[in-house]
Amino acid sequence: MKIARLECDLKQADLAAQIGVTRQTISLIESGDYNPTLNLCIAICKALGKSLDELFWEDDEK
Amino acid sequence: MMDKKTMKNKDYDEYQMMVRYKYGYYALFLLIGLIVTNQFIVAFHVWASPFLQTLVMLYIVGIYLITMYIFKNAYIGKKERSPFRTIAYMGFVGVINFAYIILLRPDFPFYKDNHLQDNIGTLLAAIFFSYISVILFINYYINKKKEEE
C-alpha cells in the first residue's frame, strides 16, 4: 500500500484527507498494526487506483 | 455499505471509533473494580462524602480514558488537523481553575478531620484540564517524530 501511495505521489496526510480518515490511521494500516474494514479498503483502493487484490492480497510464499 | 461520503461526515474514523469502544469497555470494568474496592475501604474508613467518592472514582476512570484516547490518537476528531486549539482551550480552563483556588480559596482546606473535603473538586478539575493539555502536547510531538521517521 505504501508503494502504491508513493507511486501516486501522495503523502499519508493527503491520502487520509481524500478518504476521510486521520493520518495516523493510514500509518497504522501501512505498518500492519491495524486491519481496516472492507469499506475502508475499498476507499483506499479507489483513491490509489488499484484493485483490492493488488493492494491487500498476500500470496503465500513457499 | 458505508460509502466514502458517509465516512467523510463522521467526526472520528473507524480506527478511532474502535479505540473509543475498546477503552470505553475497559473503563467500565475499571469503574466496577473501583466501586468494589471503595466499598471495602469505606467499611474501615470513610475517606470522603459519598458524592466525592463517586466523583473521585469517575475522575480516575476519566483520566484513564482520556490518556488512552490521546495516546491512541482517538481523542481529537479527524477534521481537526492541529491539536493546538484544544491544547490552548484545555490549558486555559486548567489555569482558570488553578487561579480560582489560589486567589479566591487560598486557606480553604482540602483535607480535614481525616476526610477529603468536597471543595477538592476545583483542584481535580484544574489538574484534569491541565493534564489533557500537557499530554496532548506530548502526543503531538510523538506523532511529529514518527511522521519524520
Cell 490511521 sits on residue: A25
Query: Which chain B residue is nearest to residue A25, measuring alpha carbons?
Result: B15
Tell whether B142 lies on the interface with A, counting CB pairs under 8 A.
no
What is the grid cell recorded at B55? 466523583
Q: Is A20 on the interface with B (CB under 8 A)?
A: yes
Question: Residue B76: its pLDDT value, please?
Answer: 84
Q: Cα separation of B149 and B137, whole Å?
A: 19
Which residue matches cell numbers 459519598? Answer: B50
**Residue A11 binned pLDDT confidence (cut-offs 50, 70, 90):** confident
List chain B residues with pLDDT less than 50.
Answer: 1-2, 6
Distance from CA of B73 to the nearest CA of A (A): 7
pLDDT at B6: 47
- Nearest CB among B13, B73, B143 relative to A20 is that of B13
Longest CA–CA separation in chain B, Å = 61
